[in-house]
Amino acid sequence: MNMNFFKSASRALPDLAIDFGTANTRVVAPGRGIVFDEPSLCCFSLDDVRPQLIAAGNDALPMLDRTGRSGRIARPLARGVLDDIGAGREMLRYAISRSGLSRRLRALHAVIGIPADATQAEANALMTTARDAGLGHVELIPEPLAAAIGVGLPVWESQGAMILECGAGTTEVVVLSMGAICLRRSVRLGGLALDAAIAEHLQIRHKLLIGAATAERLKLDVVGPVGKSSDTIAVKGRSVVVGGPATIEIKRRELETIVERHAMSILAVVRDALSETSPELSRDIHDNGIMLTGGCAAIGMIGQAVRDGTGLATHVADDALHCVANGLCRAA
């Protein structure tokens, strides 16, 4: 996709840019920066004939795994693309209203990020949902390109650059040059899949059931600074054996092994992309290394696996979490 279109002087500037992510939704207003940054979560009441939204974003987070039969928690996106149209519409409406941008005489013009490998059907579903949420003109920008712009890579120059966008729902590897995506590879695997793998391991190995929030806390504990914590981790959940609450102690190394397997899956995608990259672009990547962005870029095992497996330098963006959001605003 050639992105010179976004430099057109005759094109009207959008009112907002939306990083509609699997884990978080961020809204950026030109000149104001990030005006909304909350979890991509909606809680619906199931007591009525039609499900009613009772909470979204930060307000819905404490309800995760605590709703019972009268409510349902929904994530609008799964593996980077729209999975629940109703939840997607309500999440966007909520984000726009909380951003202070909804009171306008005309419909808002927005740019929204989307995975580079999204199908036309997935792109159409996102466009329709955005319009149903009250947005007017909507444009889609590939998230890896937005991340590259957000981190300040020279994407408009005749120089190859590789970016590894590590999101919650998907991980994408792209090679950029002259404002275009020259090559892309992806795997629908991200931070939430890693959380699920940790929860599955505890259920199978230790007969302990944990919720999504606990799995994420364990992941953050494991990938935190080396030497900050002990060799064992206390985990609270529900024991399948006794049928009630329980606390167990597990070796940190158990969970590190799960993270390492996740990192090796990402390395395989990077290697595949490098094997298909043209010689001249490969030379540029060899000189400049690989830039890591996204929430999972902070997982040191991923960068280490890529360095060891390719022999190339890796660089983690200073503000890895917000590269896509900032890049969408700049591209707009």
* pLDDT for position 191: 94
Mean pLDDT score, 307-314: 97
Domain with CATH 3.90.640.10 in the chain: 191-252
- Is the pLDDT at 5 greater than 50? The verdict is no
Rounded distance between C-alpha atoms, residue 176 and residue 36, angstroms: 29
* pLDDT for position 69: 76
* pLDDT for position 228: 53
122-167 pLDDT tens trace? 999 999 999 999 999 999 999 999 999 999 998 899 999 999 999 9
* pLDDT for position 46: 82
Task: Evaluate if pTM is beyond 0.85.
Answer: yes
- Is the pLDDT at 102 greater than 50? The verdict is yes
Contact 243, 221 (CB under 8 A): no
- Is the pLDDT at 262 greater than 90? The verdict is yes
Look at residues 91, 177, 180, 149 and name the one whose alpha carbon lies nearest to residue 329.
149
* pLDDT for position 11: 53
- What count of other Cβ atoms lies within 10 Å of the Cβ of residue 286? 15
What mean pLDDT value characterizes the chain?
A: 90
Contact 314, 301 (CB under 8 A): no
* pLDDT for position 203: 97
Mean pLDDT score, 299-321: 95
Mean pLDDT score, 282-309: 95
The CATH architecture to which 3-41+78-147+325-331 belongs is 2-Layer Sandwich (3.30)
At 20, is the secondary structure helix, strand, or coil? strand
Please report the sign of the dihedral spanned by the C-alpha atoms of residue 120, residue 123, residue 128, residue 129: positive
Q: 7-16, 244-253, 288-297: lowest mean pLDDT where? A: 7-16
Q: With bands split at pLDDT 50, 70 and 90, how would you rate the model's confidence at 229?
A: low
15-57 pLDDT tens trace? 999 999 999 999 999 889 999 999 999 999 987 678 889 999 9
Strands 16-20 and 81-82: unpaired
* pLDDT for position 225: 59
Contact 92, 135 (CB under 8 A): yes
Mean pLDDT score, 274-289: 96
Given the structure tokens 């010689």, which residue do they identify? 279
Q: What is the DSSP string of 132-188?
A: HTTEEEEEEEEHHHHHHHHHT--TTSSS-EEEEEE-SS-EEEEEEETTEEEEEEEES
Q: Write out the two tokens for 189.
A: 């695997």
Q: With bands split at pLDDT 50, 70 and 90, how would you rate the model's confidence at 223?
A: confident
Look at residues 325, 23, 324 and name the one whose alpha carbon lies nearest to residue 174.
324
- Is the pLDDT at 116 greater than 80? The verdict is yes
Mean pLDDT score, 86-114: 88
Contact 144, 165 (CB under 8 A): yes
> Percent of the chain beyond pLDDT 90?
77
- Is the pLDDT at 227 greater than 70? The verdict is no
Domain with CATH 3.30.420.40 in the chain: 3-41+78-147+325-331, 153-189+258-321
E strand spans, 191-267? 208-209, 232-239, 245-251
Query: How long, in residues, is the chain?
Result: 332
Look at residues 83, 149, 68 and name the one whose alpha carbon lies nearest to residue 327.
149
Q: What are the beta bridge partners of residue 141?
A: 113
Identify which has the larger pLDDT, 196 or 6.
196
Distances (CA, A) of 82 to 23, 126, 189, 237, 242: 12, 6, 15, 30, 39
- Is the pLDDT at 307 greater than 50? The verdict is yes
The CATH architecture to which 153-189+258-321 belongs is 2-Layer Sandwich (3.30)
- Helix-helix angle 323-331:143-151, to 10 degrees: 90
Q: 50-54, 195-199, 291-295: lowest mean pLDDT where? A: 50-54
Q: 49-58, 129-138, 195-204, 236-245: lowest mean pLDDT where? A: 49-58
Distances (CA, A) of 166 to 23, 91, 115, 186, 248: 12, 22, 11, 10, 31
* pLDDT for position 131: 95
Fold category of 191-252 in CATH: Actin; Chain A, domain 4 (3.90.640)
Rounded distance between C-alpha atoms, residue 198 and residue 214, angstroms: 10
